Structure 1
Amino acid sequence: MQWIGWEHPGKVIIKKIQNTKTFSIKGEQKSKDNDDYVTIEGVITLAKDKELKFKGKIVSRVHHLNKGEPCIKEGEFTFKAYGSRKYWRLVEMDNCEANQVVDYIDIYF
């Protein structure tokens, strides 16, 4: 997440769920400077080439956004890898501040 910093990426664990085409995903990125963080937990499926469908919960807290309160996004979302990029980016980028800012949440591969 750009608000937390590109130089200290977080980690995700992706595991195949037996006998399905679905994977579980769980991870987090924490700031080295303050209490800011982003977490992700849920399931993903490959929708088409370079596109993942995610169902679950993404929680972010950035001290200068959303009055410092956690932004909780729960439901179905899309991650997409554009062009030659080596990561999937969350397509639904709006933060909880009513379209005032966007969050770049990326999963590198």
Structure 2
Amino acid sequence: MNYYYHEIKPFWVIGLDRRLLMFGDGQLWLDEVVFVLTRDEGDDPVICDASECGMYMASKHVKAGFRVKRATLKEVLDTYADYEVEAWNNLIARQLKDLGVMKKTAKELMQKLEVS
């Protein structure tokens, strides 16, 4: 995949790997309320928290035609358990790296969060 393309349009990612793209500056908690943004069947779901960063990215996705659903992080990770989690340039990205689950499955992220 062309990483440069993602840097230009991080909310318009097309690829073969199924990923959960995560945006926000909030703390990752399983009970945290997040917004799940989806568009078409083949598009990767986007997860935004309620931080300023998360709301900014959510508004960009809504303008691009994504639908919004409110859920807890645990519900999202259960639903997309086999998807890779990924984040760029935000606090969630730092937390994923610190937990050692960047580009690992949502199931692995949930297991790490249950322990911590």
What TM-score do you get using the length of structure 1 for normalisation? 0.32
**Over alpha carbons, which structure has the higher Rg?**
1
Instruction: Identify the structure with the greater strand proportion.
Output: 1
